[in-house]
């Protein structure tokens, strides 16, 4: 993929970009957390806005919209926020203002790919709260694809 062809997807527009991993269960969540611990990522966990120790077992984290748990994942100048909303889906977000170069986009794509391989799952990146409009998708065996479905958002159609 060429940065010039897809950098528009990261142009700041006041919204975040979401990363979704669907069809997960608590064992996938545990694999995800264990995978993150095995990387050199900077992990910070918060409960109700206060720093806390990330539990070793995901069962200690109530996965619910009623509980404000947040895990920030620092990756080479890009912060990925992990929200513990529902057990069937891992939802993360990034601020497109941080993705100001091809190198930083590659950090996001590498994260999507390594997490997808660790979980044996598809990983999609979408505009905020529009999981039905993936911009990029990691598929097992196929890597990252730019879906170019976002042309409607950019007014080119």
pTM here is 0.91
pLDDT at 153 over 90: no
What was the pLDDT predicted at 154?
47
pLDDT digits (tens, 9 = 90+) for 71-130: 999 999 999 999 988 889 999 999 999 999 999 999 999 999 999 999 999 999 999 999
What does the DSSP assignment read for 66-101?
TS-EEEEEEETTEEEEEEEEETTEEEEEE-GGG--S
Confidence label for 62 from pLDDT (cuts 50, 70 and 90): low
Both tokens of 116, joined, read 């997808």
Question: 56, exposed or middle or buried, with CB in 10 Å at 0-12, 13-18, 19+?
Answer: exposed
What does the DSSP assignment read for 86-154?
ETTEEEEEE-GGG--SHHHHHHHHHHHHHHHHHHT--EEEEETT-TTS-SEEEETTTEEEE--GGGTTT
Q: Which of 13-27, 51-65, 69-83 has the lowest average pLDDT? A: 51-65
Distance from C-alpha of 3 to C-alpha of 120, rounded to nearest angstrom: 27
Residues 6+ apart with CB under 8 A from 33: 54, 58
What was the pLDDT predicted at 152?
45
Both tokens of 61, joined, read 């984290």
Instruction: Please state, rounded to an integer, the average pLDDT across all residues of the chain.
Output: 90
Confidence label for 149 from pLDDT (cuts 50, 70 and 90): low
């Amino acid at each position: 993929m060429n940065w010039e062809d897809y950098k528009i997807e990261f142009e700041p527009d006041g919204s975040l970009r979401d990363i979704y991993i669907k069809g997960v269960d608590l064992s996938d969540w545990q694999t995800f957390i264990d995978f993150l611990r095995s990387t050199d990522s900077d992990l910070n966990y918060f409960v109700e806005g206060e720093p806390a120790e990330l539990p070793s077992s995901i069962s200690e984290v109530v996965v619910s919209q009623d509980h404000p748990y947040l895990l920030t994942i620092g990756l080479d100048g890009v912060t990925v926020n992990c929200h513990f909303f529902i057990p069937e889906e891992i939802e993360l977000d990034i601020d497109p203002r941080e993705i100001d170069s091809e190198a930083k986009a590659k950090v996001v794509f590498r994260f999507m790919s390594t997490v997808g391989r660790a979980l044996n799952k598809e990983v999609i990146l979408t505009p905020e709260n529009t999981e039905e409009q993936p911009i990029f998708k990691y598929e097992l065996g196929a890597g990252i694809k730019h879906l170019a479905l976002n042309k409607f958002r950019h007014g080119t159609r």
